[in-house]
């Protein structure tokens, strides 16, 4: 089991996206949002986010494992959490937007859940974006245990006064047949539906990008700017999701 996990980790690293520069890439892939449009849902409101926007102070906490990060000295700046912040700052002039992270490699959903209360207490966010699923799939965590961790994490976040958005695993054509990521993505969707939690379907979006040729995910290691472009698109899509869902949760007289 350890040998298999080591191999899968190495393969994921080899197919990960590596940044080339810190320059903005808003127009580098102009169709990345259009091609993912059908996988962005706005079913559930984000009332805490709506209230924070009304007060002109929006704080977001991203919790997760390794795929929320990019390597290198500019990794934090180029990763999708900071892209969320940049996109929301552009769309919400006059509102203080801050995105913080509690991201560590190789953490299961249960491990993230256990550290969530402390992370939320430290940053006091109105929204928790929870990226998880890949490590659980690699370790073969029982789906029921995975779901239970998600449900407990939702309770922790909501108990602390924060809305929640799930982000499921990233898609990789080179590891799809080796790791049952789709199973965990579906589990996340089921829990989200039961708990009225918004979900960012990263797995389906990235698969669509791969199928449509928006990004050549098979050759990511040969294109050093792939990471930045993918993370930029993900960040902008999540920002769109946050704003649209906040409108659902806004009071009638908020003007939003």
Find the helix packing angle between 80-91 and 226-249, rounded to 10°. Answer: 50
Q: Is residue 120 a contact partner of residue 160, using CB atoms and an 8 Å limit?
A: yes
What's residue 39's pLDDT?
Answer: 64
Q: What is the pTM of this model?
A: 0.83
Number of domains in the chain: 1
Q: Which residues contact 97 (CB under 8 A, 6 or more apart)?
A: 58, 60, 85, 88, 89
With respect to residue 27, please indicate whether it lies within any of the assigned structural domains: no
With respect to residue 33, please indicate whether it lies within any of the assigned structural domains: no
With respect to residue 28, please indicate whether it lies within any of the assigned structural domains: no
With respect to residue 256, please indicate whether it lies within any of the assigned structural domains: no
With respect to residue 179, please indicate whether it lies within any of the assigned structural domains: yes
Which structural domain, as residue segments, surrounds residue 208? 2-19+41-249
Which of 155, 231, 217, 229 has its CA nearest to residue 191?
Answer: 155
Average pLDDT value for residue range 116-122: 97
The CATH number of residue 240's host domain is 3.40.50.1110
Q: Could you tell me which residue, 225 or 132, shows the higher pLDDT?
A: 132
With respect to residue 30, please indicate whether it lies within any of the assigned structural domains: no
With respect to residue 227, please indicate whether it lies within any of the assigned structural domains: yes
Average pLDDT value for residue range 120-128: 97
């Amino acid at each position: 089991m350890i040998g298999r996990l080591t191999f899968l980790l190495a393969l994921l690293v080899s197919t990960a996206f590596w940044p080339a520069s810190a320059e903005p890439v808003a127009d580098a892939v102009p169709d990345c949002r259009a091609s993912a449009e059908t996988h962005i849902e706005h079913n559930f409101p984000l009332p805490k986010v709506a209230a924070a926007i009304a007060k002109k102070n929006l704080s977001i906490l991203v919790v997760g494992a390794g795929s929320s990060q990019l390597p290198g000295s500019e990794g934090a700046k180029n990763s999708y959490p900071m892209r969320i912040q940049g996109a929301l700052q552009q769309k919400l002039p006059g509102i203080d937007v801050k995105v913080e992270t509690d991201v560590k490699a190789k953490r299961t959903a249960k491990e993230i859940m256990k550290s969530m209360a402390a992370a939320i207490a430290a940053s006091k966010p109105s929204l928790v974006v929870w990226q998880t699923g890949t490590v659980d799939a690699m370790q073969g965590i029982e789906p029921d245990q995975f779901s239970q961790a998600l449900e407990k994490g939702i309770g922790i976040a909501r108990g602390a006064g924060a809305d929640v958005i799930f982000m499921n695993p990233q898609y990789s054509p080179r590891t799809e047949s080796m790791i049952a990521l789709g199973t965990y993505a579906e589990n996340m969707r089921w829990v989200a539906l039961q708990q009225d939690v918004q979900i960012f379907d990263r797995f389906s979006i990235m698969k669509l990008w791969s199928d449509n040729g928006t990004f050549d995910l098979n050759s990511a290691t040969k294109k050093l700017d792939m990471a930045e472009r993918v993370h930029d698109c993900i960040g902008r899509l999540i920002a769109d999701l946050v704003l649209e869902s906040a409108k659902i949760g806004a009071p009638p007289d908020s003007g939003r």
